[in-house]
Every structure is written in C-alpha cells, then in structure tokens.
Structure 1
Amino acid sequence: MGFNTPVSAIFLAVNLLFFAFVTSSSAQSVPTPSPSPTCSINNLQVKGLCAKFLLPGLLNITVTVPPTSPCCSLISGLANIEAAACLCTSLKLPPPITLNINATAPVNSVLRGCGKNSPPNFTCVV
C-alpha cells in the first residue's frame, strides 16, 4: 500500500474545508440581554411629586397613596415596569453615595396605590 502525496494533500484540504464550513455554520447567535427599564419623564418631577409617598415606606411607615394624587397622574401613562423604574430612580442619590437599602416595598406600595401592578421580579435598591 503506497502513500500518494497529491491524493493525501487533496484529502487533507477537503477535510479542512469541510470542518471550516461545519464549524462556521453551527455558530449560534447569543441573544442580547433586554435593556434595563428607564424613566422617560423628568426625575425631578417624580422626586417632587412622589417623594412624600416613597420616603415613609423606607422607614416602614405605611402611607396610603390616593389614586388622584399628582404622583399617580405623573406615572399614569407609563407601563408598569417604566413607572417602577421612575419611582426607584427618584430615590437614588448621586453616584458617590450608595445606601444599599431595599426600596422595593415602598415602590410597589405607590404603584398599587396608583392602580398599577408591581412588575414581576422587580427589585429597587438605593
């Protein structure tokens, strides 16, 4: 049995080509993560109109939010997740200061008081 160099070279080239096509065709695209929700309204407005309902909740004081309050009017046109993001963002302090306080309950309380649903798996840490 002899070793034929041109035939071996063609065989090797075909195999390399075959494996290159197989490897490149089976690549799966990685799904891009969904962007985190953002607030489309002015953060200062949210702070000014909703803070009196959010801040007591951080101290475990229950405050009832009337659905006709200016805070509810401000977030009424937003989707639940966007309203939650706006309320959470309004509680955050400037970047060098982090408190690491879970503010999910007060945000959810305001959402419920305004007739909105709490988004599933939503957490707000300020």
Structure 2
Amino acid sequence: MGSKSVSSIALMLSLNLLFFSMVSCNTQIAHHNEQIKCPELQVCANILLPPFKPDRNCCPLIGGLIDLEAAVCLCAVLKLNLGGIVSINLDIPINLLLNTCGRKKTTYTCK
C-alpha cells in the first residue's frame, strides 16, 4: 500500500514541475523591506523528485544571490511547485541543495 502513495506523490510532483515549468513568472519576495528578485529556479525543484538528488544545473542560477537570498528563493520555488497540497519539511532539501552548490553550511528554515 505504501508504494502506491509514494507513486502518487511522485506523479503529483512530476505534474507540478511540468505545469510550473511551462509558466514563466518572476518570483519577487519582500524581505526586510527589500525586494529580492529570484531567478527562474524550476530546475532546482527536481530535488523533490526521486532519487532526491540536487541538480548541479541549479548552482549557476543561485550564483548571483547571497546565501539567505538563495535560501528564500529556493523555499518559494519549492513551495510553489508543491502547490500547498502536500505538507513536506523543505528545510532538508534546501540546505542539501545550498551545501551541494558550495554555499557555507547552513541551517535555513523554510517557513
């Protein structure tokens, strides 16, 4: 029974990635009275799909952002791709991705 639910979640995440990759949007996040302009980070959302490995193509996209901006943008993109349907702790994938991209060891919490 467990493999059916995993398959259903994987299918839902795949469809979300497909639909959101077809929609072009600029994510802007207000943070401490500043606007952060996030790059298109859809390739970074692949970390939510099995085999749950960070995509190295994501690293150049966050290259122009400081660590906190990169974490905030990744959090926003991953939440957007999940569509609020599934409650998943995004802290681990975001920190894994940031660390894979050579950012300093971080413990960012996605809220």
Q: Give the TM-score taking structure 2 as reference length.
A: 0.56
Which has more strand, going by share of residues?
Answer: 2
Q: Deviations over 1:32-72 (max 9, x none)?
A: xx828864224xx212x2111x213xx7x541543xx2x10
Matches within 5 A, 1:2-81: 35=32, 39-42=36-39, 45-47=40-42, 49-52=43-46, 54-56=47-49, 61-66=51-56, 69=57, 71-81=58-68
Name segments (4+ residues, structure 1) moved above 6 Å.
none
Q: Classify 1:38/1:110 alpha carbon distance in 2 versus 1 (closer, same or farther; 3 Å).
A: farther
Question: Considering only aligned residues, what root-mean-square deviation do their CA atoms show, in Å?
Answer: 3.0
Read off the aligned partner of 2:63 and give its amino acid letter: S
Query: What percent identity do the matched residue pairs reach?
Result: 34
Q: 1:109 aligns with which of 90, 93, 96?
A: 96
Largest Rg, 1 or 2: 1
Q: Which runs of 5+ in 1 are unaligned?
A: 1-33
Q: Which runs of 5+ in 2 are unaligned?
A: 1-30
Q: Number of residues paired by the alignment? A: 80
Q: Which has the higher contact order (CA 8 A, sep 6+)?
A: 1
